[in-house]
Structure 1
Amino acid sequence: MKKTLIPDFAGKILIVGPSWVGDMVMAQSLFITLKERQPDCRIDVLAPAWTFSLLARMPEVAGTVAMPLAHGQFGLPERVRLGRKLRAEGYDRAIVLPNSWKSAIVPWIAKIPLRTGYIGECRWGLLNDVRRLDKTLLPMTVQRFVALGLPKNAPLPPAYPMPSIAVTRERQQAVADKFRLVLGGPILALCPGAEYGPAKRWPASRFAELARIKAGEGWQVWLFGSGKDRTIAEQINRETGGVCLDFTGRTSLAEAVDLMSLATAVVSNDSGLMHVASALNKPVIALYGSSDPGFTPPLNARAKVVSLHLPCAPCFKRTCPLYPAGHPEHARCLTGIRTERVLQMLDEARPG
């Protein structure tokens, strides 16, 4: 059998990145690990164009390559064309973070000598540095990403550096000027949405109660989220008498990151914005319902996780599978988290 020649030094690395904000934040731990091991390497990331503003705030990333397809699209002709185009870039190594078969096509077409990834959807041939994922040794997403940047015989689980998103004062001032913000005093950022579904969302009424109390203490309260979170944000503002500044659906991802960098503390469901806040080194109170804080925790020593650890959780469902909406036990993993507990954790948090 012909042996694959693995270069001792991968000077130019292409990372096939994930398509979710939180996963991309966690992928920075891999980027940092690669730069620590090979300071002179160049890291380019192949990802959806909407992630570029996030990657621009990661100093380890030298370049970006736009994935021309939406998440879930197969688009074989487009992948083949992109792979052929990338042949001229002379990459020494590719690391494929998604586990899908289609995500490994571009590095193979690009003829990148070393192509690393987990077996995933039977990707023998497309990858030539194939790893078997042992979920007991690598229970966390960040560990799985970092392990792909290490030799096959490296001890597991690996140590992982914390993500750290860099926002300059110039960017902060620019976003403050755009939204005509009056800064001064503490700012509480609330992230009441969760793209995955309602089983990951603390009730809007609890966010509203929290906002009323902190606003009464002299805090500004800012609401963050995508356009899909406007309804929740509007409910929170109705219940608070309009004390919150609502940014949901009004910002780009870059602006949301820069605005959140101005916050004093953050309360968030398990979402991409929760991971952004963690990487900004903010005191984060992370609320977990149907998801597992052991799988995708906030990667920040100052973060605090709130989870009731009920026997039915984590179920990883989009909606509560046990009780219909309106039932008193519906989504108890979240409704059982009291506002008083979150307030206490906020009071214990220390701004940096």
Structure 2
Amino acid sequence: MKILIVGPSWVGDMVMSQTLYIELKKTHPNASIDVLAPAWCKPILERMPQIAKAIEMPLGHGDFAFFTRRNIGKSLLLENYEHAFILTNSAKSALIPFFAKVKHRTGWKGEFRYGLINDMRTNRKSFDLMIERYVALAYPKEKMTGSGCLANLPKPKLNIDRQKQLSAFEKFSLHSKRPVIGLCPGAEFGPAKRWPAEHFANITQTLINNGYQIWLFGSAKDHEVTESIKESLPLELQNNCHNLAGETSLIEAIDLMAACNIVVSNDSGLMHIAAAVGCKVVALYGSTSPGYTPPLSDTVEILHTDIDCRPCFKRICPLEHLNCLKELTPDMVVNAINRLNQIKVIQC
């Protein structure tokens, strides 16, 4: 069987989608699974052993581009895909499998796409977790009645390339003389997901004073914030804080994050990567909720405040106070780290 997946556009969602690929391989061990995804997600797919091929999607998230999608679909005709799973909700995302003449096209009811999807699932809200919604598509709709029918869901697990990890250590002049804690201060969603930079700076100094080194992860957009965290430290402590935001490729970030003992992260794509490479995770939630997309780690501390206005799921605090994040204190995070603190130093 050849399977085509129309994958999600966000890094965290792509990591979580591995649950579906694991489940498909359980039921169809000899299946060949290809995933159509944006270029920035390809490094993640390369670390999923269930994936035969990552097909780069040349269009942006909001581009309709009907004729381009038709041409991509026609270019896939010779692949003879038997089944397609469309993990996104838009009508345009279902066009490529349609034009590729994939016989079985499975997806959730979303924008008007009757005919484009011929195995339409309509009870999405009966499943609480995003990974449940992914895994449910692997089975006949009559058996998938809600969260209660799914048990022992697989967790994403990304492969680590040890040689590339060592090369990244050398490239960025890193070492393992001190145990490593990774910090991820960014979140693409918006400021209502971002724990204050001054709180990150506070725990950075505390952790370095207690014998750790800090690696700061993020995109180029996060570099200014991560640099401000490093520069807030006394000069004698800055050698133990490495600002990697915007410096690493995504594949380097994956391998380096696997070398961290613990990762402290906002609700972001990097949080899901940290969980998928086996890190212990302290997950910080502001405007969003862990009830839908929690970090899928075996060892995790999930922190949030319980003020009345959260979770609001807004990108920007509608009340302009961000108390859901400000009142999540550095002491609470350090205490969570202490609860997870069974350090194994990685030698390089």
Q: For this structure pair, what is the TM-score category when the shorter chain's length is used for normalisation?
A: over 0.9
**Residue among 324, 329, 338 paired with 1:338:** 329
Question: What CA distance in whole angstroms lies between the structure 2 residues aligned with 1:215 and 1:154?
Answer: 52
Which stretch of the first structure deviates more once superposed, 312-321 or 178-187? 178-187
Question: What CA distance in whole angstroms lies between the structure 2 residues aligned with 1:42 and 1:202?
Answer: 41
1:172 pairs with 2:165: yes
Contact 1:19 1:48 in 2 (8 A): yes
Q: Alpha-carbon deviation of 1:223?
A: 0.4
Letter of the 2:55 counterpart:
V
Question: What CA distance in whole angstroms lies between the structure 2 residues aligned with 1:312 and 1:71?
Answer: 30
Question: What CA distance in whole angstroms lies between the structure 1 residues aligned with 2:184 and 2:94?
Answer: 34
Letter of the 1:127 counterpart:
I
Contact 1:22 1:275 in 2 (8 A): yes
Q: Alpha-carbon deviation of 1:134?
A: 3.5
Question: What CA distance in whole angstroms lies between the structure 2 residues aligned with 1:259 and 1:152?
Answer: 40
Give the secondary structure class of the aligned counterpart of 1:116: strand
Contact 2:165 2:255 in 1 (8 A): yes
Question: What CA distance in whole angstroms lies between the structure 2 residues aligned with 1:234 and 1:64?
Answer: 34
Contact 2:32 2:51 in 1 (8 A): yes
Q: Against the structure 1 CA distance between its residues 351 and 29, is the aligned structure 2 distance closer, same or farther, given a 3 Å change threshold?
A: farther
Q: Alpha-carbon deviation of 1:42?
A: 0.9
Contact 1:118 1:130 in 2 (8 A): yes
Q: Alpha-carbon deviation of 1:129?
A: 0.4
Which stretch of the first structure deviates more once superposed, 106-115 or 225-234? 225-234
- The alignment covers a number of residue pairs equal to 335
Give the secondary structure class of the aligned counterpart of 2:51: coil
When normalised by structure 1's length, the TM-score is: 0.93
- Equivalence for 2:207: 214
1:128 pairs with 2:118: yes
Question: What CA distance in whole angstroms lies between the structure 2 residues aligned with 1:40 and 1:311?
Answer: 50
Q: Alpha-carbon deviation of 1:301?
A: 2.2
Question: What CA distance in whole angstroms lies between the structure 1 residues aligned with 2:273 and 2:306?
Answer: 24
* Residues 21-56 of structure 1: CA deviation (Å, up to 9, x unaligned): 000000001111111111111110000122111111
Give the secondary structure class of the aligned counterpart of 2:34: strand
Q: Alpha-carbon deviation of 1:182?
A: 2.1
Aligned-residue identity in percent: 47
Question: What CA distance in whole angstroms lies between the structure 2 residues aligned with 1:191 and 1:146?
Answer: 28
1:65 pairs with 2:59: no
1:312 pairs with 2:303: no
Contact 1:68 1:78 in 2 (8 A): no
Question: What CA distance in whole angstroms lies between the structure 2 residues aligned with 1:30 and 1:18?
Answer: 12
1:119 pairs with 2:109: yes
Q: Alpha-carbon deviation of 1:250?
A: 0.6
Structure 2 stretches of 5 or more lacking a match?
none
Contact 2:108 2:124 in 1 (8 A): no
**Residue among 19, 22, 40 paired with 2:9:** 19
Question: What CA distance in whole angstroms lies between the structure 2 residues aligned with 1:86 and 1:28?
Answer: 22
Question: What CA distance in whole angstroms lies between the structure 1 residues aligned with 2:252 and 2:62?
Answer: 26
Contact 1:282 1:351 in 2 (8 A): no
Which stretch of the first structure deviates more once superposed, 181-190 or 266-275? 181-190
1:154 pairs with 2:152: no
- Equivalence for 1:6: none
**Residue among 234, 257, 260 paired with 1:260:** 257
Give the secondary structure class of the aligned counterpart of 1:115: strand
1:93 pairs with 2:83: yes
Give the secondary structure class of the aligned counterpart of 2:17: helix
- Equivalence for 1:103: 93
Question: What CA distance in whole angstroms lies between the structure 2 residues aligned with 1:182 and 1:152?
Answer: 50
Q: Alpha-carbon deviation of 1:351?
A: 4.5
Give the secondary structure class of the aligned counterpart of 1:15: strand
Contact 2:194 2:286 in 1 (8 A): yes
Letter of the 1:236 counterpart:
I
Q: Alpha-carbon deviation of 1:318?
A: 1.1
Which stretch of the first structure deviates more once superposed, 237-246 or 54-63? 237-246
* Residues 70-97 of structure 1: CA deviation (Å, up to 9, x unaligned): 1111111110110000010010100000
Contact 2:218 2:246 in 1 (8 A): yes
Computed over aligned residues only, the root mean square deviation of the Cα atoms, in angstroms, reads 1.2
Contact 2:179 2:343 in 1 (8 A): no
Contact 2:124 2:133 in 1 (8 A): no
Letter of the 1:347 counterpart:
N
Question: What CA distance in whole angstroms lies between the structure 2 residues aligned with 1:25 and 1:184?
Answer: 30
Q: Alpha-carbon deviation of 1:309?
A: 2.8
- Equivalence for 1:326: none
Question: What CA distance in whole angstroms lies between the structure 1 residues aligned with 2:137 and 2:168?
Answer: 36
Question: What CA distance in whole angstroms lies between the structure 2 residues aligned with 1:25 and 1:274?
Answer: 10
Which stretch of the first structure deviates more once superposed, 170-179 or 276-285? 170-179
- Equivalence for 1:274: 271
Structure 1 stretches of 5 or more lacking a match?
1-10, 324-329
- Equivalence for 2:178: 185
When normalised by structure 2's length, the TM-score is: 0.94
The within-5 A match list for 1:72-83 is 72-83=62-73
Question: What CA distance in whole angstroms lies between the structure 1 residues aligned with 2:173 and 2:98?
Answer: 48
Give the secondary structure class of the aligned counterpart of 2:40: helix
1:141 pairs with 2:130: yes
